[in-house]
Amino acid sequence: MRDEFLKRLYEVGAQAYHHLHPFNIRMNEGVLDCESIRLWVVNRFYYQRCIPIKDAAILSNCPIREVRQEWVKRIINHDGILGQEGGLEKWIRLALACGFTREETIDERHVLPAVRFAVDAYVNFARTKPWPIAIASSLTELFAPDLMAKRLAAFAKYYPWIAPEGLDYFRARLTQAKEDSEFALEVTLRYCIDRSMQEAAVHAIRFKCEVLWSILDAVSCKN
Closest CA to 124 of 72, 57, 63: 57
Side-chain half-sphere exposure of 183, counting CA atoms within 13 A: 14
Q: What is the pLDDT of residues 7-42, one digit of tens each?
A: 999 999 999 999 999 999 999 999 999 999 999 999
pTM of the model: 0.95
Mean pLDDT of 114-141: 98
Q: Is the pLDDT of residue 222 over 80?
A: no
Residue % of the chain over a pLDDT of 90: 89
pLDDT in tens, 60-114: 999 999 999 999 999 999 999 888 899 999 999 999 999 999 999 999 999 999 9
- pLDDT confidence of 223, banded at 50, 70, 90? low
Rg of the chain in Å (alpha carbons):
17
**Which CATH code, of 1.20.910.10, 2.60.120.10, 3.40.50.300, 1.20.120.520, is assigned to 2-222?**
1.20.910.10
Q: What is the largest CA-CA distance in the chain?
A: 51
pLDDT band at 139 (very low <50, low <70, confident <90, very high): very high
Range in 35-39, 85-89, 135-139, 171-175 the model is least confident about: 171-175
Domain ranges of the chain: 2-222
Question: Across all residues in the chain, what is the average pLDDT?
Answer: 95
Contact 41, 95 (CB under 8 A): yes
Q: Residue 145 — very low, low, confident or very high, per pLDDT cuts 50/70/90?
A: confident
**Is the confidence at residue 1, as pLDDT, over 80?**
no
What sign for the dihedral angle of Cα 218, 220, 213, 97?
Answer: negative
- Can you say how many angstroms the Cα of residue 114 is from the centroid of all Cα atoms in its chain? 16
What's the confidence (pLDDT) of residue 221?
84
